[in-house]
Amino acid sequence: MNKFKSLFLVGIIAFSVSCSKSSSDSDGDNEEAKVDKAANLLATGDSAKDILSNETYDKLLIEIAYVTGFKPTEAAMADFTEYLQEHTFKEDIELIYNELSSPSEDELTLQEIADLETSNRTAFNTGSTLAIYIYFADAPAEGDDLEGGLVTLGAVYRNTSMVIHEVTVRDLASLSSSISEADVETTTLNHEFGHLFGLVNLGTDMVNDHESESENEDGQLVGDNHCNQAVCLMRAELQFGGSSGKFLPSNALAQYEDGVKSGCTLSGTTVLSLLQQNTGKTTNTVPLDAECLLDIQANGGR
């Protein structure tokens, strides 16, 4: 009888452990399912105030997703972090790195980049933490015109998402002995993040009108969400290249089936010349002008 009771007790314990494990596993699955991604799938500039101020989020978690061999330089990431601390009230900024295999594409459309984010992004808004996703690609953007000098360095396409075409950044940096890879990376990162700040007229209201206009494909002059002030990080020529004032014949401001839209595609045509204007100064990076700084401060930033 005692032997039977012992076996019975062992059976109960084993069943309890099994149920406990199943319940734990189920809870884990439910926790993963509870991740709300909606707040990270909005339009460019929609989270400008949340990024600039500490009213809702007091921490930035930045996921650096990079293709093997195309990790950004430590110098650029240090300068980028300093830029964020200079213009936002976020003192807690954490960078996490996510190394990815190559998608093995000769060029990438914005839709393909968004699809890669869907498959690979791990950081999303939680509690008082706002998450940003930056993908460093090993392929150029679709529609790059190398002979014409119109190449896309980076693009923002959602409120917390951007791509840096690292392969193109490196190619551009190699053209100058006085400009480093880190210089081009920093300028690209800072410009694109300026749009996540809501600049120019892209979620952050302008204190004074300083939005430039460019000729669209229909020949009409329209606001292009870039600054018309000289030597500003958000200047339109950084996007469109030179002084032609025409939209890039690529994915600039293109609308895709699932709503992915580029708020900016940064052209490399004039980046080197702008950086070279600062050669010999304390830094080669291009600053924001006074008008953009006013807009940032009016929307909760420093």
**What's the CA gap between 59 and 94, in Å, rounded?**
8
Q: Is residue 20 part of a domain?
A: no
Domain for residue 2, yes or no?
no
Tally of domains in the chain: 1
- Report whether 171 contacts 195 (CB < 8 A): no
Looking at mean pLDDT, say which of 117-126, 224-233, 257-266, 268-277 comes out highest: 117-126
Tens of pLDDT, residue by residue over 106-152, are 999 999 999 999 999 999 999 999 999 999 999 999 988 766 667 88
- Residue 249 predicted with pLDDT over 50: no
Separation of alpha carbons 184 and 284, rounded Å: 9
pTM > 0.75: yes
Is 222 a member of any domain?
Answer: yes
- 21 lies in some domain: no
Residue 180: CB atoms within 10 Å: 16
Q: How far apart are CA 274 and CA 267, in angstroms?
A: 12
Q: Which two tokens stand for residue 56?
A: 């809702």
CATH code of the domain covering residue 205: 3.40.390.10
Q: Is residue 17 part of a domain?
A: no
Mean pLDDT, the chain, integer: 82
| Residue 135 phi, psi dihedral angles, 5° rounding | -105, 125
User: What's the CA gap between 163 and 189, in Å, rounded?
Assistant: 9
The answer to the question of residue 9 being in a domain is no
Domain residues for the domain of 175 are 38-298
Residue 21 CA from chain centroid, whole number: 39
The answer as to whether 26 is a domain residue is no
Could you tell me if residue 14 is inside a domain?
Answer: no
Closest by CA position to 153, among listed 33, 270, 31, 290: 270
pLDDT in tens, 168-198: 999 888 888 888 999 999 999 999 999 999 9
The pair of structure tokens assigned to 39 is 């707040």
Confidence band (pLDDT; 50, 70, 90) for 253? very low
